[in-house]
Amino acid sequence: MSQAARVFKVEPAGLNWPRAVVFLDVGLVPLFVFWAIGHEQYLLSTLFGLLFTVLCDPGGGYGRRMSRICLFALIGAGVTALGFGIGAAPWGWPVLAAFAITLVAGLAVAFGVHRFVTALLLNIWFIVTIGVAFTLHRHGHISSHTWAQVLAWTGGAALWIAAASIWWLVSGRGDAPRPFAEIPGDTARRALTRPLVAFALVRALAIAGTVALAFGLDLSYGYWIPIAAMIAMKPSLEQATLVAAQRLTGALIGAVAAALLLLVPASEHGLRLFAVEHGLQMVALVLFMHGAGIRFWNYTFYSACIAAGVLILVDLPQPSHYSAEGYRVLWTLCGVGISLLVMALSTLLTGGGPSGQAAPSRRPAE
């Protein structure tokens, strides 16, 4: 089988539409609320708070489960406050914060694979927050308050806590399975080897560099570079080349799809523009729903859905035109190219895996 065929190969058993429908049902609640009150700029924080809380849900006994979810929600609120607080600050602060958070997320593998995955989720969210904050700061007609973004994130997490609690009561108060059983639940600690530390450092420097390019050079839509790099980059050394190719291909497909969809409101005004923007928000939610359902059907299409949904909601407040779409795709290509260089460099530094052996082929943790 050719490499291209392997990238798009599907696993019929990996479809999970009940999980996707549950996410859509819960996600419609904040979508309707923000439409009703007219503050759609906070929708992205709520959806990410909901999605990532579901992903980090460890299952098990109710007390232990809720304590871990609440801790994740609290840390996520802090990351949200930091990202939206410094997103419009001088570019050195976002660069420094991006380096620190990416490094800490990479080193979190010492506390187990499950905590490593949750740290990476927060790392991705932080990169998204500084992009959103920068976008909203550029458009003074849209007000965004850091405290409100934090409240929106917390509200998304609280939605899942409420839904999980209701289901726990209805199902007889027994132990609950993990919503995403495919995500590793291992919390066993491991030693931080030199290859693992080197890889975490290289990733942190790469993400900090992309943030510096985007904000330091004040590139139009430049924040697509760090977002694309973070989405495309492998979260660990132990992943196979196939997964890297699927991430990169999915990021590109998602970026092109988002760019084309963002052209739709370019020539609209008044009530039609209002309707189109709301329609695109619904499209983004449906993309996230499909991501939840096809995660293990095909990783390429999953990456494309998540990338497209994120980029639509990040750039929806900005007017679109053909040159803007060209910039968006160009910066996505740059971000993907940087992630390729990081993967190649990390392989040279570590000999292909955390112990200097060829990386084993297995499903990614995130």
CB 30 within 8 A of CB 47: yes
pLDDT, tens only, 320-340: 665 666 777 788 788 878 887
Q: Alpha helices, DSSP H only, in 179-269?
A: 194-211, 224-232, 241-261
Crossing angle of helices 299-315 and 43-56, in 10° steps, is 150
User: Which 8-state DSSP code applies to residue 175?
Assistant: -
Q: Alpha helices, DSSP H only, in 171-193?
A: none
Query: What is the pLDDT at residue 366?
Result: 47
Query: What is the pLDDT at residue 319?
Result: 59
pLDDT, tens only, 125-169: 998 899 888 877 776 666 778 999 999 999 999 999 998 899 899
pLDDT, tens only, 164-218: 899 899 888 888 887 776 677 777 788 888 888 888 898 899 999 999 998 888 8
Handedness of CA 365, 25, 76, 93 (dihedral sign): positive
Which of 331, 301, 126, 99 shows the shortest CA–CA distance to 206? 99
Percent of the chain predicted with pLDDT > 90: 23
pLDDT, tens only, 100-125: 999 999 899 888 888 888 998 899 89
